[in-house]
């Protein structure tokens, strides 16, 4: 009897470890997103796959989700670790009627959707580091990779790629990455230790996190379509891990230090350099001074 109990619990845990289109659809109340779901066991990159679908004329709102990516891509051509069943590796296809410059808002909006999606499903509050990082305390738990296909001054489609570390333990990260990256599991365990609770039995389901993000991303997308960009910016400010902080800006023109003061409606970060000069950053990288 005892053995049977253990086995059945194990089975429940294992079953929960796999994603499926049905698990993602169950209870999801979106009108545009995830009407079509492409679920893959292993793929080079969900963003690359999504681009092929978009080029072949798929409906907007189509999503691609994989258990594992072999060539997961991050910003600036970096490799994105996407181990089997350890995280959310997802791409969403949009076909908005906007210009390429206006499309910057997708990364800003997707960051908001990820923070709210994680918060609503796990209760964990993450923060946004401009332009595309999601942080837990001061380590990266997720990132957004937005890619565009343009024709003239119009956007043909936008691919929003979302990567979130969910089930990794410290041992799943190399020594180097461990210093900068974390997962929802690692964070939760650290809280359990500090609040003295030995076990939290509620499992983190990646399908719930995906649903949470899709729900919030649809809110964001409606704001983009209706040109209500202020709504997105207000939420971004609320969850920003950067505003008001002293930062170092690393751009192709060199490095400088200053304070992150604001974010513009087009997604540019407004920084006041230590010499008093104001900058509006379109791209680049920042590090927050601790």
For ligand BTN, the closer of residues 69 and 121 by Cβ is: 69
**Range in contact with ligand BTN (rule: CB under 6 A) among 82-90, 183-191, 213-221, 272-280:** 82-90
**Range in contact with ligand BTN (rule: CB under 6 A) among 6-14, 77-85, 103-111, 238-246:** 77-85
Pairwise CA distance, residues 263 & 240, whole Å? 10
Determine the Cα angle at 213 with ends 207 and 216, to 5°: 140
- Residue 62 interacting with ligand BTN (CB under 6 A): no
Q: Pattern 89-128, binding to ligand BTN, x per CB under 6 A?
A: xxx-------------------------------------
Residue 40 contacts residue 49 (beta carbons within 8 Å): yes
Residue in the shown chain whose Cβ atom is closest to ligand BTN: 143
Determine the Cα angle at 141 with ends 217 and 260, to 5°: 80
| Min dist. Cβ of residue 92 to ligand BTN (A) | 10
Nearest to 164 by CA among 190, 189, 145, 178: 145
Residues found in the chain: 290
- Residue 156 interacting with ligand BTN (CB under 6 A): no
The residue behind tokens 């920042």 is: 286
- Residue 132 interacting with ligand BTN (CB under 6 A): yes
Q: How many CB atoms lie within 10 A of CB 52?
A: 10
Residue 247 contacts residue 287 (beta carbons within 8 Å): yes
For ligand BTN, the closer of residues 133 and 172 by Cβ is: 133
- Residue 75 interacting with ligand BTN (CB under 6 A): yes
Among 109, 117, 131, 143, binds ligand BTN (CB under 6 A): 143
């Amino acid at each position: 009897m005892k053995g049977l109990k253990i086995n059945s619990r194990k089975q429940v845990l294992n079953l929960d470890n796999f994603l499926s289109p049905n698990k993602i659809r169950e209870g999801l109340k979106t009108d545009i997103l995830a009407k079509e779901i492409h679920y893959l066991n292993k793929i080079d990159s969900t963003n690359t796959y999504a681009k092929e679908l978009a080029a072949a004329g798929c409906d907007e709102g189509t999503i691609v989700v994989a258990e594992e990516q072999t060539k997961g891509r991050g910003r600036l051509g970096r490799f994105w670790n996407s181990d089997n069943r350890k995280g959310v590796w997802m791409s969403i296809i949009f076909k908005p009627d906007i210009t390429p410059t206006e499309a910057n808002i997708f990364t800003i909006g997707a960051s908001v959707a990820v923070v709210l999606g994680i918060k609503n499903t796990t209760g964990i509050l993450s923060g946004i580091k401009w332009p595309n990082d999601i942080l837990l305390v001061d380590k990266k738990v997720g990132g957004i990779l937005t890619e565009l296909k343009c024709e003239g001054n119009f956007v043909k489609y936008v691919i929003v790629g979302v990567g979130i570390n969910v089930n990794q333990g410290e041992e799943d990260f190399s020594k180097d990455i461990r210093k900068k990256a974390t997962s929802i599991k690692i964070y939760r365990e650290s809280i359990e230790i500090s609040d003295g609770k030995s076990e939290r039995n509620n499992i983190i389901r990646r399908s719930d996190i995906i649903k949470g993000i899709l729900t919030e991303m649809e809110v964001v997308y409606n704001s983009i379509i209706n040109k209500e960009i202020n709504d997105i910016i207000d939420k971004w400010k609320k969850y920003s891990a950067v505003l008001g902080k002293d930062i170092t800006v690393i751009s192709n023109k060199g490095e400088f230090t200053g304070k992150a003061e604001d974010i513009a409606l087009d997604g540019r970060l407004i920084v006041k350099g230590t010499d008093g000069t104001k900058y509006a950053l379109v791209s680049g990288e920042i590090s927050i001074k601790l």
